[in-house]
Amino acid sequence: MKITVMTGDEQIITLDVDSHESVENVKALLEVETSVPLQQQQLLYNGKEMRNSEKLSALGVKDEDLVMMIPNVASSAPTNNLSFNPDGSAVNPGAFQQHLRSDSNVMAQLFQADPELAQVILGNDLNRLQEILRQRHRQKSELRHQQEEELALLYADPFDVEAQKKIEAAIRQKGIDENWQAALEHNPEAFARVVMLYVDMEVNGVPLKAFVDSGAQSTIISKSCAERCGLLRLLDQRYKGIAHGVGQSEILGRIHVAPIKIGNIFYPCSFTVLDSPNMEFLFGLDMIRKHQCIIDLKDNVLRVGGGEVSVPFLQEKDIPSRFLDEERYSKQASSSEAPVTSGTVERSLNVPLGGGSRGDTAQGPDFEAKVAKLVELGFGREAVIQALKLFEGNEEQAAGFLFGG
């Protein structure tokens, strides 16, 4: 009869054996096919270990059946005369260490297969050696458990709904893992934090670091910043109101025109003044359009006046750390969807979230769907919720933060 053997590295081997063959003889055949020594093989059938003395027929192995072969790590080292504790540590770690040290061939193989263990064996810290042995034992147990589960799924009843759900989840998780590995290899920058766009400007002669945000409809300045720039005397309070969005901020009014200096040229600019101590100055789409600005990410510069002035975007080291909070707050302050009213004057400050809509972080169906997706990647629910709140509901940035943590 023919049996199919699947190895731990997903190699498929077909053997032509007698139904009354012993498991030990099957292992001998596999040693020829795989170069894995007989003593280092462990065979599983229907999730149960096959012992050397047992016959295939006695175990119920039939023609075209599948057998799983996994490496027996504990027997990979020549320690037949040494014993191990149930947790994988050596009963006599000193003797175990000396036994391996005395065999140069084994040490050479160990340096290739497990350099960390090899270094510990050459050292003098027996406690560290025991810790590594316990760790390898746990890894072996986890691997065996995973392979037994995979094997059980192969033999699962195709009409068992729960088994099919597990198979579907395993296939989906494998696809996610492969996609993540591909991203790490081909697009590693996707897991890094994106530095927002800041440039050096002067507002009414006062130097500032301006947050350039083409997704914000209006240019915004805080009350404290306007006061520092000597502009509060020009504040038109007829335009005051409340900005409602992800957050809420009081609009103190509007400064209709004041000079800003970009590079060596002065430009007229208007500002909406917010009572927001956490946000300083946001250069929005209204002024970007007015002054024909170009956000050139290839050369990493902001071009103003159709290209007559070019100023570089600041590097992360040049941006004060407090501005990280300012970025989050500016998106709250600039995401108003409700009218802003004061007396008989009605103004609409409809400023989308910076860089495009990022979604509402309120607990709702969309938010829960994002939480569920990230939890499927293996992260804890509380950590996922915190990450989504931190990045204002942006699923991709939250995932990058969690992977990086």
From residue 127, give the alpha-carbon distance in Å to each of 29, 135, 251.
Answer: 39, 12, 64
Closest listed residue to residue 108, CA positions, set 122, 96, 129: 122
Closest listed residue to residue 312, CA positions, set 326, 296, 291, 292: 296
Estimate to the nearest angstrom the gap between the alpha carbon of 189 and the chain centroid.
Answer: 11
Is 18 known to be catalytic? no
Annotated catalytic residue, options 63, 65, 160, 213: 213
Burial of 318 (0-12, 13-18, 19+ CB in 10 A): exposed
Placement of tokens 């509901």 in the chain = 393
Angle subtended at Cα 171 by Cα 48 and Cα 3, rounded to the nearest 5 degrees: 40
Burial of 283 (0-12, 13-18, 19+ CB in 10 A): buried
Structural tokens at position 202: 């002067």
Interatomic CA distance for residues 234 and 315, integer angstroms: 33
Interatomic CA distance for residues 42 and 78, integer angstroms: 16
Interatomic CA distance for residues 172 and 170, integer angstroms: 5
Asked if 269 contacts 219 with a C-beta cutoff of 8 angstroms, the reply is yes
Beta carbons within 8 Å of 379's beta carbon, 6+ residues apart: 387, 402
Interatomic CA distance for residues 54 and 60, integer angstroms: 11
Interatomic CA distance for residues 387 and 28, integer angstroms: 53
HSE toward the beta carbon, residue 283, CA cutoff 13 A: 30
Residues with a known catalytic role: 213
